[in-house]
Amino acid sequence: MEENRSLYAIPADIGRKNAEGSNNLIQSGAARLVASGRDILEDLHGQLRGLLDESMENSEESEPCPGIELTSEESSILDLIADGPLSIDELMDRLSANGMTIGRLSTLLLGLEMKKAVRQLPGKVFSSLI
């Protein structure tokens, strides 16, 4: 644009008044649509060459680790979110009868994220990737 820089926009719900700006930028071609961080990395690949190694560049949305090993606690969490995303509060409600604490659940969810088995969505909502 005027500053000779790339402009990116994340599409938003068309029914919301505050979504007009980013959606108009995308529609007019002034901004590039961003669906994930990978879109920006791909666009800036030439400028970032040497700053990012190939493993970092591919890590954001890579597939789950093949043959990941899950504990029984991790498996029970994945079973709960297999039919659809659940918030951490909903998971806690369902797992508290088994003696699960919020600290332990948070630790397990982080481990599952690192194993690329779950993804955290806005609002502390988790969905399964496997």
Q: What is the Cα–Cα distance from 128 to 82, expressed in whole angstroms?
A: 6
Q: Tokens at residue 107, please? A: 């630790």
Max Cα distance, the chain (Å): 59
Domain coordinates in residue numbering, the chain: 8-59, 72-128
Burial of 62 (0-12, 13-18, 19+ CB in 10 A): exposed
User: 72-128 belongs to which CATH class?
Assistant: mainly alpha
Note whether 112 and 78 are within 8 A (CB). yes
CA distances to 36, 41, 45, 127, 130 from 57, in Å: 13, 7, 9, 23, 21
Question: What's residue 55's pLDDT?
Answer: 43
Q: What are phi and psi of 128, to 5 degrees?
A: -80, 140
Q: Tokens at residue 23, please? A: 């959606």
Per-residue pLDDT of the chain (130 residues; tens, 9 = 90+): 466 677 888 888 877 878 788 888 888 888 888 777 777 777 776 666 655 554 444 444 444 455 678 888 898 899 898 888 889 999 999 888 888 899 999 999 988 888 888 888 888 889 888 8
